[in-house]
Structure 1
């Protein structure tokens, strides 16, 4: 039986492990340097309140890929969940993403959808033809006033720099709607697992041919065990090569947690758009499980900062200097035999959970196809 090593017990590693184990042809070791499975999707019950807590920030599963939706629903029941984010700016609560209600409330209007389209177009900066930066994209998209209200302060806190230094591609992910639809996502399927994400991943890894070893650090290229037939690596690509071309830029986040009686904010996530507020958002965890009821509550203030050597990397910055380094690392990857790089950190891309699962299923399928004759 061929031995497989998988570094990382998040969705990427778990899905590949499950796909290979089901064939009965592989013995699989999954290692993770943390003391739990699930990576940044890890959830656990708070001992004091009993609330299911998203330990590394909010995760709402959303996809339009039925194959991926059906896949995760094998392992737990996903309750329907619509993410309705609010934003506080200048002492007022607004609905995100920017929609017809946001526009009418902000400008004190009662515009119809057609009137709102004309209104926003009139606000856009027509001098910007091809936006190159986040700031240019926002000003062209929604104009100076909405940009300053909902994007400038929040983005500056989130990324630690002026929005004019960020690529326009970051903002292209954020929709503007000319209806009263305040669903943050457009995907057909949206939900949260009844027993949490770590339970889902635990079920994915529950196979006799899979062994999970926690608190075990992988040191990268120098730590490759030649006894393994193949290795799947889901950690940071720069760490695998001992940062020989320099560290890739990430933003990380940290949380301050609070507990109190009752309900703190009445919503799962509220953004704080004012630059003067030090945190970017507050997430109140009991609102992610509306099918449960709790007398107490637990909420996290989320802060953003630069990633140091001891921090968990979250969001790839992908600035020009980062992409130059990434190209050098990708050239190194192409020279390595018997190692596959997959997932957010190993490919240095921002990926949602459904993207990660889809790519992991595809990676496993391609490997199994190529390994038939070996």
Structure 2
């Protein structure tokens, strides 16, 4: 099978040292205690399973979304999914092995940090189907998936971040917007780069001069060095907010929580941009801060992958989420709907169509 991907490999197998604990595979109990009700007949022996990155399945972000997508599919097939959570990168290999002993036929690894361990497991178990969320499984950087039995699910979030950048520039009264990330991995900087491009597009269209604080491009910017809402995350948020921004985009799971404290202590009205999930929905304490969120529809893409596997129609062709296929997008404005000028909203809607048509180009490591 030909699974060449025109992209630079997503680098780095790094631990996201968050708060979950490694544990033996479960039978789907985290999502629901009820027995699944079959609506679709699965192929014989079908058992979908999932292993989390260090954030755990309640991270209000990509682990949770992927988990929910898999659980939804499992319920429709009337099967109980296997699940195991990771505390650090040391858990990845044993957790993947534990799912093999649990007779899983399809294993979903959530997060680019699991890439190397998943490739190793897939090569050793060619009869098992693997789904890798948010990584191209191209650790040798030759433009091809490293194991034939892995389906990568990746997302060109620069497209949706471009819209968020344009929206933020138009919303900002200070003429300054900011962003910071956990670590300078491609899956992090793709948000920041798309955001910056969107602000620059706004400046070009409007002959404006909105500044982007915290990111210059590539790996040059403000990064916390990890993915925890800790003192370093707070210092990063403070450093940007203290430069006068009134919109801020934290990229890296729960590091946005530190920005909430920074916003409160600033005494100013500062809007927050969420990432991965619609953070307004997943974390209600953000409701008064969230302008919008840059969404990766991981729940839907994982659901689709698991469903096709359960029907015996699985394809290992890589999936790339875009604005065109609905794999990425902007969340609703929610409480900010009345605060954002209707003309600006219409411009963002039109810009989405222009990106889809190719009239406006958005570059990223997935789309040069």
TM class by shorter-chain length? Answer: under 0.3
Q: TM-score, normalised to structure 1's length?
A: 0.24
More strand, by proportion:
1
| Larger Cα-atom Rg | 1
Q: TM-score, normalised to structure 2's length?
A: 0.24
